[in-house]
Structure 1
Amino acid sequence: MRIAQIAPLAEAVPPLLYGGTERIVSYLTEELVALGHDVTLFASGDSRTAARLEAITPRALRLDASIRDTVAPHILMLSRLQERLRDFDVVHFHIDHLHLPMMRGSGLPFLTTLHGRLDLPEIAPLFQAHPEAPFVSISNAQRRPLPSANWAGTVLHGLPTDLLPFSPRDRGYLAFLGRISPEKGPDVTIRIARAAGIPPRIAAKVDNMDRAYFETAVRPLLDGPGVEFIGEVDEAQKAEFLGGARALLFPIQWPEPFGLVMIEAMACGTPVVAFNRGSVPEVMEDGMTGFVVEDETGALGALRRIGSIDRTAVRRVFERRFTARRMAEDYLALYRRLGAAHERPVLRVA
């Protein structure tokens, strides 16, 4: 099958450091190539892939200080794609909705995986204006704000099985991994860890938009005893960081569409203590991969029981549910279904 993968340009594919969407695009692309498909990746020029790379910008936009209009490179990418549409059997978008007008009436099977939140008021009219466009959710919880959208399916994320090695023993700290922002709850993590008497380690990037929150809500907590702020980590550092944790704390304060860090921890065998928001009940197996809790009090109770979680069993759940191969096969099933629907003749009643 000839497949085009259309990635955001903010980060390379895969990203050097933080970047959830681009990371998933990379895992999917490489797995599709490994399965024998002809894949073209539209992405930044510093991306690394076994597929054909259609480089739109020399490097990821976040790393290029000269870029002030980030929409323009994405429009250029769509123009390049439009010139090549007939080269593909299916086009898979990961850029939200910029492409919807272009693909209307194209006659080519396409689908869009939505990687972010859908509860913003300006999104619903756009979906209503494109009722024919097929979308993929990354959890069923993500769909709740837009139940009437044309959902083609839900595909949970997956990781390469050899990406993050299993770690049978922890080194006695609690981990927070991701981005410093109010909805991710790094300040909540520190409070829980201190109340539990377990040192927390914070591995996260700080975006400019969250700088004020970091300075007022998080930095004062870092001055206390036992808190280690590591900053942004790469893939090799991530394996050691997650694998050494007694547990990953995931005290989200918003309807998380997926939460990639949960399955990254599971790959290492590290249990997760996560707040019951968004996708968490779909991703977690309560009592098996960790604990799903409602609040900080519940998290403290879960940490008292964290020794009951078998790290080997956590890894087995990852291998059963969250591999890149399973993710790729799920998407291939959707590609084939969309292709069959496009080939089906339209019956007209006289």
Structure 2
Amino acid sequence: MRIAQVAPLYESVPPLAYGATERIVHYLTEELVRRGHDVTLFASGDSRTSARLMAGCERGLWRDSGVWDTSTHHVRQLEQVARHACDFDILHFHGEPLHFPLMRRLRCTYVTTMHGLLLPSDHGPLLHEFTDAPLVSISRSQRKPVSWANWVRTIHHGIPPDMFPFEDAPCGYLLFLGRLMPGKRPDLAVEIARRAGMPLKMAGVVHPGERDYFKNELRPVLHANPQHVEYLGETGGEARNRLLSRADALLLPLEWEEPFGLVAIEAMACGTPVIAFRRGAMPEVVENGVTGWLVDDVDSAVAAVKRIGAIDRWRCRRAYESRFTAARMADEYVDLYASLCGRVNDNQCSISAASTSAATADMRMLQEHPMRSL
């Protein structure tokens, strides 16, 4: 198949460090290329891919100090997509739904994976307007605020088996890894580690809109607990992988409805159990007592830390291999692409048949009434 993958331009594909959406786009793109599909990736110019790259900007926008208005670059990217849209069997969008009006008018086969949190007040009116837009959710939980939308599939994320090293002997610390934002409650990770009597390593990115939260709320917590927490800043590459594989457990004390939680399956691939609050997609991702513990508050999280040794790290890895590989994810997307393309072809056949029938009727009318105007 001729497939276009359209990524947001905030980070490169794959990202240097943080960037769950861009990471998933990379894994999917590489797996599709490996299977022999003709793939074009619309992404930032510093992306690294086996596919054909169409650069929408020079580098990831959040890494470019000269960029102020990111929307201008995404509008330009849409023009690139529109110019080449007819070259593809299907276009797969992963960013914000700016493309909906364009795709309605181009009438090309497309699908959109919604990667973020969906809000009835914001996404509700949009999806009521674009009831024809085919959508993929990354968890069943993600759909709930707009459950009536045009969902065509739920496809959980997947990662390649060789991306993360398995480690059977952890190094005696807990880990918080991810975006440092209020909804992920990194401050509660500090409290859990302190009360459990274990050191915590914290690594994550602070996005521009969350700098005040980091400065005024999180940094004081970190400074007040130097003996319990080591803050490492944004961490990527092999250093990030080592952090995941050597941790006794990954902490996800979520206060928001996490749409998926990619770091959870990355931890499982390393054999590292996950202790997560029972929010959002966590009950779909974490098997309680198998790949970690689902808890409801700080007290139960502290208790879960103390029994983390009951989780078999090899069993974590096997659970990942059976549920969350990039190959499984690609299987589901390719099946969806074929289904959507077949549906469009069927519609086109119906239109063609109707047009042929109408043309035949018009010809007969002309033959019977040659002076009659059509």
1:269 paired to 2:258: no
Aligned match of 1:187: 187
Aligned match of 2:25: 25
Q: For 2:59 and 2:159, how far apart are their aligned partners in 1?
A: 24
Q: Following TM superposition, by how much is the alpha carbon of 1:39 offset from its aligned partner in structure 2, in angstroms?
A: 0.1
Aligned match of 2:336: 334
Aligned match of 1:90: 90
Q: Following TM superposition, by how much is the alpha carbon of 1:215 offset from its aligned partner in structure 2, in angstroms?
A: 2.1
Aligned match of 1:239: 241
Paired residues for 1:1-350 under 5 Å: 1-223=1-223, 224=225, 225-344=227-346, 345-346=349-350
- Does the 8 A contact of 2:180 with 2:206 survive in 1? yes
Q: Following TM superposition, by how much is the alpha carbon of 1:127 offset from its aligned partner in structure 2, in angstroms?
A: 0.5
- Does the 8 A contact of 2:120 with 2:146 survive in 1? no
Q: Following TM superposition, by how much is the alpha carbon of 1:67 offset from its aligned partner in structure 2, in angstroms?
A: 1.4
Q: For 1:206 and 1:82, how far apart are their aligned partners in 2?
A: 34
Most deviating of 116-125 and 49-58: 116-125
Residue by residue over 1:177-227, the C-alpha shift from the partner in whole angstroms, topping out at 9 and shown as x without a partner, is 001111011100000110000111101112232222222222222222131
Q: For 2:208 and 2:3, how far apart are their aligned partners in 1?
A: 36
Q: Following TM superposition, by how much is the alpha carbon of 1:21 offset from its aligned partner in structure 2, in angstroms?
A: 0.6
Amino acid at match of 2:313: R
Structure showing the higher helix proportion among its residues = 2
Q: Following TM superposition, by how much is the alpha carbon of 1:260 offset from its aligned partner in structure 2, in angstroms?
A: 0.5
Give structure 1 stretches of 5+ with no counterpart. none
| Residue aligned with 1:4, SS | strand
Amino acid at match of 1:189: A
Change in CA separation of 1:120 and 1:231 when aligned onto 2, cut-off 3 Å: farther
Q: For 1:195 and 1:69, how far apart are their aligned partners in 2?
A: 43
CA-atom RMSD, angstroms? 1.4
Aligned residues: 350
Using the size of structure 2 for normalisation, the TM-score is: 0.91
Give structure 2 stretches of 5+ with no counterpart. 359-374
Amino acid at match of 1:192: I
- Does the 8 A contact of 1:185 with 1:253 survive in 2? yes
Runs of 4+ in 1 over 3 A off after TM superposition: 345-350
Q: For 2:120 and 2:54, how far apart are their aligned partners in 1?
A: 32
Aligned match of 2:367: none
- Does the 8 A contact of 1:96 with 1:113 survive in 2? no
Residue by residue over 1:315-343, the C-alpha shift from the partner in whole angstroms, topping out at 9 and shown as x without a partner, is 00111111111111110010000001001
Q: For 1:260 and 1:27, how far apart are their aligned partners in 2?
A: 12
Report sequence identity in percent. Answer: 51
Using the size of structure 1 for normalisation, the TM-score is: 0.98
- Does the 8 A contact of 1:96 with 1:112 survive in 2? no
